[in-house]
Structure 1
Amino acid sequence: MGKVATGATMSIDGYIAGPGDSGFDLLFQWYDNGDVEITTAMPGLTMRVTPASKDHLDEWNGALGSLVVGRHLYDLTNGWGGRHPLDVPVVVLTHRPPEDRPAADDNFVFVTEGIEAAVATAQEIAGDRNVGVNGGEMARQALDAGLLDEVHVDLAPVLLGAGTPYFPSLGIKPVQLDGPVKVVRGSGVMHLTYAVRK
């Protein structure tokens, strides 16, 4: 079984989105400020990053077997048009699965029984590969439940001032992490990996 890790691009003041789901243009500038092209599974979505960022992304994405996201992100992205850009199955934790989705949709699995069930489903799908947990509410729930092995931060040099924190309203605090166990310097981003102290 692989690792369970959360990862997000975060502002220096700790936000993964600004007020009203804004600020993504500032947070994700590093997706288009390099010379190395990365194609995704989403038509029309290509990133241009530095060689260091590409190596970092290739290492993590190459070991990724599934993702866990919340219904808010699923709706915000319109289900990524039917396939996540990382080309892996997505487990969506929700109180209310969408009624209009295709019955035989292998790209998305909707789970209503809580974060433990969502992560267990994602692990079953991933096999010996890693499970990625989206930042925000999903990361908070997974950390509170003791399910996370690592925290990945793509630190962007921007201050958003308010918005959605990476870990909103932790039920267990303080939480100590070990590391950073890995540091990669990109252009307009610092990739940091921390181990969750069990």
Structure 2
Amino acid sequence: MGAVVMHNVVSVDGFIADENDDPGPLHEWYFSGDTPIGVGDGEGFDHSGAGSRFKVPSASSEYVRSTWDSLGTIVMGRRLFDLVNGWEGHPPAGDHVVVVSHRPKPEGWHPEASYHFVDGVAAGIAKAQELAGERTVAVNAGEVGGQILAAGLVDEVAMDVVPVVFGSGKRYFGSIDRQHLLEDPDVVIRSDRVLHLRFKVRR
């Protein structure tokens, strides 16, 4: 099985969006750089669901490209799915998406897309790993991501830290309520308007 990596862009004070689910400037570095990064035919999707070509800083390009190339499955919560309408059936990376939700897939929604609705985080990760095979499972941060970490199902934590302070909003680790130790960062990449960090979860 491939690694399960909790991954998101985050403010320096640990938020992935404000109280209204607006990420503000967190994703600007994806589109303001000098190096195009494509998915498949070169077209990607931003987090609003609108089609857009990614263009990242050169210092980020190899890390972003290799990360996206390694992905087999994305795991997300129902709230994010609803906010972006599942990226209209075209995830920004990977071939499959698992949505952790008590509600089923909306009737008639993009039947051609490999999106799987699973009730519960353990079942969600099991399905994601089955679909990903040896490739990486990426878990979106937030409430569902925090639940997956708390369940001991996350191997690594990856953070793209943007130099902005939110003060309040939606937390990277959701409402997780106990300490979890991480190893020293094994990836530290300083880029333009973003710092890429990656930590293994201590077992």
- Pairing partner for 1:181 from 162, 178, 186: 186
Per-residue CA deviation, residues 49-107 of structure 1 (Å, 9 max, x unaligned), is: 11221111111111111011011000000121121121421000101113323484342
**Quick check: 1:2–1:127 contact (8 Å CA) kept in 2?**
yes
| Greater Cα offset, 118-127 or 102-111 | 102-111
Equivalenced residue count is 195
Q: Map 1:17-166 onto structure 2 (within 5 A).
A: 17-22=17-22, 24-39=23-38, 40-42=43-45, 44-102=51-109, 104-112=111-119, 114-166=120-172
Structure 2 length-normalised TM: 0.91
Amino acid at match of 2:11: S
Change (3 A) 1:47 1:104: closer
Range with bigger deviation, 162-171 or 115-124 = 162-171
Name the aligned partner's letter for residue 200 of structure 2: A
Unmatched 5+ residue regions in structure 2? none
Change in Cα spacing, 1:18 to 1:102, as seen in structure 2 (3 Å) is: closer
Which residue does the alignment assign to 1:16?
Answer: 16
Following TM superposition, where does structure 1 have runs of at least 4 consecutive aligned residues deviating by more than 4 angstroms?
A: none
List alignment gaps of at least 5 residues for structure 1.
Answer: none
Distance in 1 between the 2:109 and 2:179 partners? 42
The corresponding residue for 1:197 is 202
**Cα distance in 1, alignment partners of residues 92 and 110 from structure 2:** 21
For 2:156 and 2:60, how far apart are their aligned partners in 1?
A: 18
Q: SS state of the match for residue 105, structure 2? A: coil
| CA deviations over 1:157-193 (Å, ceiling 9, x no partner) | 000111000012214x211111111111110000000
Verify the 8 A CA contact 2:19 2:170 in the aligned structure 1.
Answer: yes
TM-score by length of 1: 0.93
101-110 or 75-84: bigger deviation: 101-110
CA distance in 2, matches of 1:27, 1:177: 24
RMSD of equivalent CA atoms: 1.6
Cα distance, 1:41 vs structure 2: 4.3
Matched residues in 2 for 1:44 and 1:103: separation? Answer: 16
